[in-house]
Amino acid sequence: MATDFDLYDTDTPAPAAAGQGAEKEPELVYGSAEEFLHEQLLPTYVRSVTGKSAKWCIEWYFHPEAVSRVAALWRSWEHLRLDPATGMSVWWRDHADHHMRVLLDPQGPFYNCDMKEHRDPEHLEPRKAPHGWFPDVRTIQP
C-alpha cells in the first residue's frame, strides 16, 4: 500500500541542513504510530463509542485510512510538541479534533465494524478515466 510518507521508517535521518553547526533533529517521543495511539492519543482522547454517535474498530490497523490518519496525528504531535507556546493547542484544534471526528464518525472508516469485531470495509471502485485525461507528469518534459 503506497502512502504519502513511509509510516514505518523512523530511522532515516532528516536531510542535512546547509552549513556546519546544523541543529540535531529532536528525538521522537514515540517510535511508531501504534505506540503513539496506545500511549498518548487514546488515553487522552476519551469518548463514548457506542456505535450510534461514534464508532471504533479494535483492529483499526486493517483500515488504510485509519492508519494514515493515526500516522498523521503522530507526526504532527511530534512536531508541534516542540512549540512551548501554542503547539499543543494547534495540535488539538487542527489535527486531533479534525482527524478523530472523521475516524469516529459512524459513516467513517469503521462504519462496517462494531466494538467487538472487525469487518473489512468495502472499497470504492473507480473507473479509469479516458486515456490522456491525466497524463503522467513525470514524463512531461519542461
Distance between CA atoms of residues 49 and 123, nearest Å? 24
Residue 17 domain-assigned (yes or no): no
pLDDT band at 88 (very low <50, low <70, confident <90, very high): very high
Domain that holds residue 87: 49-118
Q: Rounded to an integer, what distance in angstroms lies between the CA atom of residue 52 and that of residue 72?
A: 26
In a domain, 71, yes or no: yes
Tell whether 30 is covered by a domain: no
The answer to whether residue 128 sits within a structural domain is no
Residues with Cβ within 8 Å of 80's Cβ and at least 6 positions away in sequence, in order, are 87, 88, 90, 91, 95
Which tens digit of pLDDT belongs to each residue from 51-60?
A: 789 999 999 9
- Whether 12 is in a domain gets the answer no
pLDDT: which is higher, 69 or 117: 69
- Distance separating alpha carbons of residues 139 and 81, to the nearest angstrom: 40
Residue 70 within any structural domain of the chain: yes
Which pLDDT score is estimated for 21? Answer: 63
Whole-number pLDDT of residue 12: 42
* Total count of domains within the chain: 1
Q: Compute the average pLDDT of residues 67-84.
A: 98
What's the rounded Cα separation, in Å, for the pair 71 and 54?
20
Return the pLDDT at 28.
96
Hunting for cell 464518525 — which residue is that? 105
Does residue 67 belong to any structural domain of this protein?
yes
At 135, is the pLDDT very low, low, confident or very high (cuts 50, 70, 90)? confident
Decide if 10 is inside a domain. no
Helices (H), ranges, 33-81: 33-36, 42-44, 64-80
Q: What is the mean pLDDT of residues 18-34?
A: 83
Nearest to 96 by CA among 48, 36, 50: 36
Asked whether residue 19 carries a pLDDT value surpassing 60, the answer given is: no
